[in-house]
Structure 1
């Protein structure tokens, strides 16, 4: 166990930045305000073209004494979110890691509550907390309540949900054991804008799971530059590439043959965009009829609406 002079486990907070000049001071100030003392700060920048690096460098100079260690990592070319996270993980000296984007905010007790939670049970190595979504106006906040029932499922059923329904674990909410993440190989840089989902699936494939901490400890900022909110962004390219290349094989490993067929049909459908001509729409409709899972999903949606 890596401990500070306080006797508490050292936590590395990794701030990933890219053109974050507008918001990064708020992010860093929220880390400085943590009630937990044993903190290391690593800021890793992905070749920002604005003043992000200068702001971070000055902030570190003014607040260095708050942390056991600080480091600012810069690169000469843009590499994507996954590689940026990995540089932070490689530099982390703490036993536990909290990754936060350079536009989000940690509540004051975020690290302390996570440490209290993981120390309550030695089986807990990965945590997901509740989050609050907010716009640039801090007064406009909405708490996102993660579904308790999903986290209460057995580990294998959680994995099956991740494979068939998508990622129910919000990346901004995650707090995890640094050694475990290194054993998983960190983020998959083949999918440069998709840092969390491939890593979470690796953790579940290894027989581990996430535990829900039922407290809102992170504020996730929604603004026009969020890559995950733009359907035509590089994030979507990484996401669908991951779905097409990885998910079908994992479904086969789990013996989920109908879902495997559905994944292959869905991948083929993406060759015919929804905004295409009538012929493309007819092809998409015909392909949907080839997958039994499509009928099940349609029925589920019908019951959800009634």
Structure 2
């Protein structure tokens, strides 16, 4: 049960053909020790049983909502739709194949309340496609600035929590050839906000063979396009940031794969 002084957390989850994983993802939210949340799942025209599974998980839990889009619009548009419906002071992001540690919301809300932070992220562990946890853990820095994030994509979407009271309204850009989530984090930090790392392993990222992150070239192209299209960075500065990004990406993957 929630208490009067607990802040509502709105969990933003896009889904598309996620029937293999979505039930486990929802269960990891239901298992949270912090109960004052709403989970807004926006389904982007799934062709499998994703929506039926979500409805079955909603039956006895009014905190979970399903929004069914009429046209396939992509994950950024689905997230934006959920953000626009969110009632919480805090926004947390969880994709339909990833999982959270049961104490994730409790510890992260406390971390942000204690520090007065607008933006936070956490360590996370990699899982394989079958949900088996690996030995690979991504350890994040204690804080990062706009300049720091331009050189490093260390912030994983499933670990992010932002305080709307401090950031103001947020939306993701809809360029499908960019990293829309990375672009949003940069847009927030460009306003002088620092992101703070809760250096505990509180989330589990599923690495699927056909996922974007498994295709390093596509990921690199999206990062470059984020510099140029979303942040409007000139070509020479973008090359400098991209060189640093490439070095840091190599170091990260050398440690975790």
TM, length-normalised to structure 1: 0.71
1:241 aligns with: 225
Measure the CA separation in 2 of the matches of 1:77 and 1:237: 26
The yes-or-no answer on 1:206 pairing with 2:200 is no
The change in CA–CA distance for 1:43 and 1:221 in structure 2 (over 3 A counts) is: same
Map of 2:82 onto structure 1: 88
2:71 maps to which of 45, 52, 77: 77
Q: Would you tell me which structure has more helix in proportion to its own residues? A: 1
* Preserved contact between residue 122 and residue 140 of structure 2 (Cα < 8 Å): no
Q: CA offset at residue 10 of structure 1?
A: 0.9
8 Å CA contact retained: 2:119, 2:162: yes
Question: What is the SS of the residue equivalent to 1:34?
Answer: coil
Give the corresponding residue for 2:255: none
Q: Which of 237, 240, 251 is equivalent to 1:259?
A: 237
Partner of residue 33 from structure 2, selected from 35, 49, 60 = 35
Contact 1:80 1:192 in 2 (8 A): no
Give the equivalent residue in structure 2 for 1:269: none
Structure 1: state its 5+ residue gaps: 253-257, 267-292, 302-306
What secondary structure, in the 3-state scheme, does the structure 2 residue paired with 1:219 have?
A: strand
Q: Distance in 1 between matches of 2:149 and 2:43?
A: 30
The RMSD of aligned alpha carbons is 2.9
Aligned length: 247
Q: Cα distance 1:54–1:137, how it changes in 2: closer, same or farther (>3 A)? A: closer
Name whichever structure is richer in strand by fraction.
2
Q: In the alignment, is the contact (CA less than 8 A) between 2:17 and 2:49 conserved in 1? A: yes
How much has 1:143 moved relative to structure 2? 4.0
What is the 5 A alignment of 1:1-306? 5-64=3-62, 67=63, 70-122=64-116, 124-148=117-141, 151-152=142-143, 158-163=145-150, 165-180=151-166, 182-183=168-169, 185-191=170-176, 194-231=179-216, 238-247=222-231, 249-250=232-233, 259=237, 262=239
The 8 Å contact of residues 191 and 242 in structure 1, kept in 2 or not, is answered as no
Instruction: Decide whether the 8 Å contact of 1:133 with 1:220 is kept in 2.
Output: yes
Go from structure 1 to structure 2 and tell me whether the alpha carbon gap of 1:203 and 1:48 turns closer, same or farther (over 3 Å shift): same
- Contact between 1:86 and 1:186, CA under 8 Å: does it hold in 2? yes
Larger Rg belongs to: 1
Contact 2:44/2:69, CA 8 A, preserved across alignment: yes
Q: Which runs of 5+ in 2 are unaligned?
A: 251-257
Distance 1:56 1:147, change over 3 A: closer
How big is the shift at 1:12? Answer: 1.3
Decide whether the 8 Å contact of 1:134 with 1:141 is kept in 2.
yes
User: Which moved further from structure 2: 98-107 or 219-228?
Assistant: 219-228
Distance, in Å, in 1 between the alignment partners of 2:202 and 2:136 is 10
- How many Å apart are 1:230 and its aligned residue? 2.5
Give the 3 Å change call, closer, same or farther, for CA 193–33 of structure 1 in structure 2.
farther
Q: 1:26 to 1:113 in 2, by over 3 A?
A: same
